[in-house]
């Protein structure tokens, strides 16, 4: 049976965590049946029809935009059909606010690429004057509300989110609850007719009140989940933008951007609004999200138009924002598309399959129960020769049988199983937000629990990313730098060398020195750039004077493929130009054929000297310093050069930058290794630097392998397959190397791979990995968009937290499934056997609805939201295609079910004699006692389910506040139902002895659980083989006790 169930689930309910095929998504939807409430069950399931419709809409709109972009004359005809005006008038409101251009006219410049219109306004400078902004100082913060009032907010029109009462309406759509409500109303009518007012209405009214309770608790739980997802969704879209405001550069939220803002763009950024280029170098924009065109567009003074929603593919620049929000092309595109929803996670799909199987079994039992009860009643009526006499009493009895059958369906169809996954994921995602990890895709949180390998960057993830220049080699001399030193550190070099070093620092950089709110100078840029510029300032250099004295002619920005940055500047008072280059030590050294001596003269670089410099580089690297070289070249005839030279440079210096390892990284790496997760470092740094850091972190072991990217690229597939299991460090790697490694680990070695990335070129690896982890601080928007999780603090420890929570989600769902299936089996068998033997079910409709609430919504709240414990990271990761309902779960389910069914059936048939119950209330007392025992069995079984393998189920229980609240509420409400709501629930108050007996019968579940956990469950041979070399396998059986 178990094998058949797993085969059925694998055949119909198996989807990939990332990018599942449409066929797989449709297959499981077709296979789902016996759904009580489709609206609620499938609320978190992607709407494939809506998604396909959106795709068609997007392509249609992209075609229109493409026409507008590439055939400018037709722009208004396609996009603003019917709205074309002869001109734009300036309203009094706009002119009174101090602006000289209307919002619609300003928006049209970028949207229609109106070059003539911009020129007529005096170019970008003229437009800046029209919108009252200085291109140097930026927007004045105090005037932002006025700008937002005239030119609009940078927000799109969003569909209003569902209110609480909509969730109540969805919860009440449950077909079985509707049938029960109708039955309850009929029952009230029949009851009043046969038993009079008000006694006749109690049964039906009790059912209605129970239904309302179930609906309200369900709606509250669902509404809270929706608020959590809404908060997370808002955080996902909240991009931080670099702008110049009030004369200084600062970060603002994309939602706070206004027309007139000066936006700084660099590689990987998302363009936050429509605008015009102010200045830039080699700026290329990827407009595929808008137009569908894959070729990047060069942005320059002849074509200065930049559209929101596009991505910066290369270069850097400054942009004047001309339209925001719904006036942008991106805003228009977004508002026409409806959300098709995220793909459902593998666990959600699998539990839909489990719910379908159990639902079919429950439906069959309900039908058989109704047939048996009705047949018994008719046979009994026939034996007394009353078949011709029918009364309201007979109708009431048949209605009661029908209600019993419906109630069995209510309890038997575990509607809450798939929704428990959503609840658990929502809880985990909210907690991870507090732990500095933003989960973008639901399935990632779940998949991370299966991760068997993490490929991590070095800089900023394993290290602090707070860089300082620690050593410098210049003029054949290595010097150590301390923060207390100043220009004296280079007192042994000539003024000419000192000057050229400062030129190379301040001119060849993407950093800026700006004044902060406190009036002090602050360096803004990447950590490496900041370290070098701060070093230049420490030497006494003035960033502003260099940038004003020299004019930059050409720039080649740094990227992870070139591994260098170059700049060409015009030398003042001369026709000559000078090129500066800095980057990876080996690459820059290879470009040099000369070196600066102490007098500042360029001397030929001999092979002996080249080897000596290589030794200096390796020496710095072995001290875990990040090394780079700076060089220059004078160009006598710059007019003939179309690009910055690539050779014959003169080496100025070798710089060693210290980037300390984060304090908790070593412990986090050890936690991963204990959990069976292999950690591999993939970095662009020098191999000696990488090895030193990897050893310090505990990643590189004695038998581990460290190689360089170029060597890895040369290997055949067979060679890769042989070395990858031992590979722990890859240095001087390209993004392509990371992508190749991830692909090989997934496809050949069948690993579940998590990979970190921060650059635009990391996007393919992030996309390929099972879990892509983008850096929140250092990461570009392109990297974040391709990632599944954003690590907000760029810290490796946060990645381990994601893995811990991923495992917690998986285990919590298993606990809940074990608990719910036990309740399902017991409730089914108890009602079925009792109905077949005695002709009546021991539990009433109201009682069963309460049990359904305990096992469904409350059970999910208690078990699916349990926080992770340290023991989770001392077990192997969950395999790719492992069976979800394990042998251990079946052992616990069957064992507990046998105990509960046996006890409850004995009480049902022999209870009066065993408990010595007499008198007119004996039957009512016995049924109440059975109900009470049943509930307490579930309460204690819920405690048992906290750990499926270990005996100590109380560990951490009192720290799990949600679990404790649910337990207390369940017990308190059970007391209220039994003692005070007997009229509606058909219960009678119990003596303290019977209460004690109920609790003890439930508590016996605990020793039963201990006995069950001592029964060994056979391990899959493969699982044991997979993990025997990493750590001890999980204990199962008597040794666990």
Active-site annotation, residues: 457
Beta bridge partners of residue 771, listed in sequence order = 754
Q: Quick one: tokens of 513?
A: 């020195």
Q: At what angle do helices 392-412 and 796-838 cross, to 10 degrees?
A: 150
The length of the chain is 1041
Contact 693, 458 (CB under 8 A): yes
Q: Measured between alpha carbons, how far is 539 from 541 in angstroms, rounded to an integer?
A: 6
Q: Which two tokens stand for residue 346?
A: 């593998």
| CB contact at 8 A, 515 and 248 | yes
**Strand spans (E) along 718-848:** 727-731, 753-757, 771-775, 789-791
End-to-end CA separation in angstroms for the chain: 29
Tell me the three-class secondary structure of 495-527, residue by residue: HHHHHHHHHHHHHCCCCEEEECCCCCEEEECCH
Torsion of CA 219, 222, 224, 227, to 10 degrees: -120
- The two counts, helices (H) then strands (E), for the chain are 41, 26
Q: Bridge-partner residues for 757, per DSSP?
A: 774
Q: SS3 helix, strand, coil % of the chain, rounded to 5?
A: 55, 15, 30
Contact 772, 755 (CB under 8 A): yes
Helix (H/G/I), strand (E/B), else coil: 952: coil
Query: 342: closest CA among 657, 50, 547?
Result: 50
Buried/exposed code over 709-724 (b: 16+ C-beta within 10 A; e: otherwise): beebeeeeeeebeeeb
Strands 602-604 and 437-439 turn out to be unpaired
> Which residue shows structure tokens 């959106």?
54
**Residue located via tokens 């210096």:** 653
For tokens 């150590």, name the residue.
Answer: 480
Residues 640, 568: contact at Cβ < 8 Å?
A: no
List the beta strands (DSSP E) in 69-122.
none
Contacting residues for 880 by C-beta, under 8 A, at least 6 apart: 450, 750, 752
Count Cβ atoms within 10 A of the Cβ of residue 18 and give its class: 0-12 exposed, 13-18 middle, 19 or more buried: middle
CA distances from residue 594 to 31, 495, 651, 677 in whole angstroms, order as listed: 72, 19, 6, 48
What DSSP string describes 221-271? HHHHHHHHHHHHHHHHH--EEEEEETTEEEEEEGGG--TT-EEEE-TTPBP
**Coil/strand/helix, residue 596:** strand
Pairing status of strand 649-658 against strand 592-596:
parallel
Residues 538-562, buried b or exposed e (16+ Cβ, 10 A)?
bbebebeebeeebeebbbbbbbbee
List residues bridging with 633 in a β-sheet.
579
- Dig out the tokens for 791 from the structure: 């690590």
Place of tokens 């609206």: 39
DSSP-derived 3-state class of residue 605: coil
The conformation of residue 339, written as its DSSP 8-state character, comes to P
Residues 571 and 632: beta-carbon distance below 8 Å:
no
**Structure-token pair, residue 442:** 């639901």
φ, ψ at 406 (rounded to 5°): -65, -40
């Amino acid at each position: 049976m178990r094998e058949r169930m797993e085969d059925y689930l694998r055949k119909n309910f198996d989807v990939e965590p990332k990018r599942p095929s449409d066929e797989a998504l449709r297959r499981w939807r077709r296979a789902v049946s016996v759904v009580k409430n489709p609206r609620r069950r499938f609320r978190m399931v992607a709407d494939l029809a809506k998604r396909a419709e959106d795709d068609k809409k997007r392509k249609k709109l992209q075609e229109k935009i493409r026409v507008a972009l590439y055939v400018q004359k037709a722009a208004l005809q396609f996009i603003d059909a019917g709205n074309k005006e002869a001109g734009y008038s300036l309203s009094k409101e706009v002119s009174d606010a101090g602006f000289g251009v209307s919002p619609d006219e300003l928006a049209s410049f970028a949207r229609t690429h109106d070059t003539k219109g911009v020129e007529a306004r005096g170019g970008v400078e003229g437009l800046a004057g029209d919108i009252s902004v200085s291109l140097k100082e930026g927007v004045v913060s105090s005037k932002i509300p006025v700008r937002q009032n005239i030119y609009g907010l940078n927000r799109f029109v969003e569909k209003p989110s569902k209110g609480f009462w909509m969730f109540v309406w969805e919860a009440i759509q449950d077909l079985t609850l509707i049938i029960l409500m109708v039955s309850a109303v009929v029952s009230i009518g029949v009851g009043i007719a046969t038993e009079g007012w008000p006694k006749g209405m109690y049964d039906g009214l009790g059912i209605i009140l129970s239904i309302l309770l179930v609906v309200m608790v369900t709606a509250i739980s669902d509404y809270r989940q929706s608020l959590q997802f809404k908060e997370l969704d808002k955080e996902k879209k909240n991009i931080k933008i670099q702008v110049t405001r009030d004369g200084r550069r600062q970060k603002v939220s994309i939602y706070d951007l206004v027309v007139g803002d000066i936006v700084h763009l660099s590689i990987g950024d998302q363009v936050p609004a429509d605008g015009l280029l102010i200045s830039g170098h080699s700026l290329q924009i990827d407009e595929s999200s808008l137009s569908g065109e894959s070729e990047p567009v060069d942005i320059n003074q002849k074509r200065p138009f930049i559209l929101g929603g596009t991505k910066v593919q290369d270069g850097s620049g400054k942009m004047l924002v001309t339209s925001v929000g719904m006036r942008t092309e991106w805003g228009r595109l977004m508002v026409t598309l409806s959300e098709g929803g995220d793909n459902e996670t593998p666990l959600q799909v699998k539990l839909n399959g489990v719910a379908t199987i159990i639902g079919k079994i429950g439906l069959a039992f309900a039908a058989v129960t109704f047939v048996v009860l009705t047949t018994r009643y008719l046979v009994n009526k026939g034996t007394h020769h009353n078949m011709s006499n029918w009364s309201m009493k007979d109708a009431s009895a048949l209605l009661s049988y029908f209600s019993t059958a419906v109630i069995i369906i209510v309890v038997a169809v575990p509607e809450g199983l798939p929704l428990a996954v959503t609840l658990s994921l929502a809880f985990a995602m909210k907690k991870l937000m507090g732990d500095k990890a933003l989960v973008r895709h639901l399935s990632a949180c779940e998949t991370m629990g299966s991760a068997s390998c993490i490929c991590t960057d070095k800089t900023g993830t394993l290290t602090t990313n707070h860089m300082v220049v620690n050593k410098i080699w210049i003029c054949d001399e290595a010097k150590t730098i301390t923060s207390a030193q100043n220009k004296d550190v280079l007192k042994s070099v000539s003024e000419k060398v000192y000057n050229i070093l400062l030129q190379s620092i301040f001119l060849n950089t993407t950093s800026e020195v700006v004044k902060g709110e406190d009036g002090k100078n602050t360096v803004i840029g990447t950590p490496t750039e900041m370290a070098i510029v701060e070093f230049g300032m420490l030497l006494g250099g003035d960033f502003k004077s260099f940038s004003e004295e020299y004019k930059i002619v050409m720039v080649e920005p740094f990227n992870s493929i070139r591994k260098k940055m170059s700049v060409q500047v015009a030398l003042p008072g001369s026709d000559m130009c000078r090129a500066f280059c800095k980057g990876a030590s080996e690459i820059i050294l290879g470009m040099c054929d000369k070196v600066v001596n102490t007098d500042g003269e360029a001397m030929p670089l001999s092979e002996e000297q080249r080897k000596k410099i290589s030794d200096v580089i390796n020496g710095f690297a072995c001290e875990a310093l990040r090394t780079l070289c700076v060089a220059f070249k004078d160009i006598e005839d710059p007019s003939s050069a179309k690009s910055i030279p690539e050779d014959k440079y003169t080496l100025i210096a070798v710089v060693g930058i210290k980037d300390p390892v984060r304090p908790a990284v070593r412990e986090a790496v050890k936690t991963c290794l204990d959990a069976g997760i292999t950690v591999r470092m993939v970095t662009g740094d020098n191999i000696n630097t990488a090895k030193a850091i990897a050893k310090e972190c505990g990643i590189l072991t004695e038998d581990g392998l460290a190689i360089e990217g170029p060597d890895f690229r040369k290997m055949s597939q067979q060679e890769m397959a042989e070395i990858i299991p031992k590979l722990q460090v890859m240095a001087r790697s390209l993004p392509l190397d990371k992508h190749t490694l991830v692909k090989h680990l997934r496809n050949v070695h069948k690993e579940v791979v998590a990979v970190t990335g921060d650059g635009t070129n990391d996007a393919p690896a992030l996309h390929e990995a099972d879990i892509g982890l983008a850096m929140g601080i250092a990461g570009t928007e392109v990297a974040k968009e391709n990632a599944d999780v954003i690590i907000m603090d760029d810290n490796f420890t946060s990645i381990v937290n994601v893995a811990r929570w991923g495992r917690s989600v998986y285990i919590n769902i298993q606990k809940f499934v074990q608990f719910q299936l036990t309740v399902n089996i017991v409730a089914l068998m108890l009602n079925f056997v009792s109905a077949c033997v005695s002709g009546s079910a021991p539990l009433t409709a109201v009682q069963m609805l309460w049990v359904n609430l305990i096992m469904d919504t409350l059970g999910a709240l208690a078990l699916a939201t349990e926080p992770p414990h340290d023991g989770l990271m001392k077990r192997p990761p969950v395999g790719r295609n492992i069976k979800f309902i394990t042998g251990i779960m079946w052992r616990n389910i069957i064992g507990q079910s046998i105990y509960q069914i046996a006890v409850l059936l004995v009480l049902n048939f022999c209870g009066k004699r065993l408990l010595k119950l007499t008198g007119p209330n004996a039957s009512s007392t016995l049924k109440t006692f059975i109900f009470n025992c049943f509930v307490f069995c579930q309460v204690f079984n819920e405690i048992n389910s906290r750990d499926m393998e270990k005996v100590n189920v109380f560990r951490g229980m009192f720290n799990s506040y949600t679990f404790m609240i649910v337990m207390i509420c369940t017990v308190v409400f059970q007391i209220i139902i039994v003692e005070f709501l007997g009229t509606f629930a058909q219960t009678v108050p119990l003596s303290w002895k019977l209460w004690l007996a109920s609790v003890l019968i439930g508590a016996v579940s605990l020793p039963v659980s201990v006995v069950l956990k001592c029964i060994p469950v056979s391990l899959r041979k493969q699982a044991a083989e997979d993990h025997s070399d990493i750590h001890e396998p999980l204990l199962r059986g008597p040794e666990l006790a």
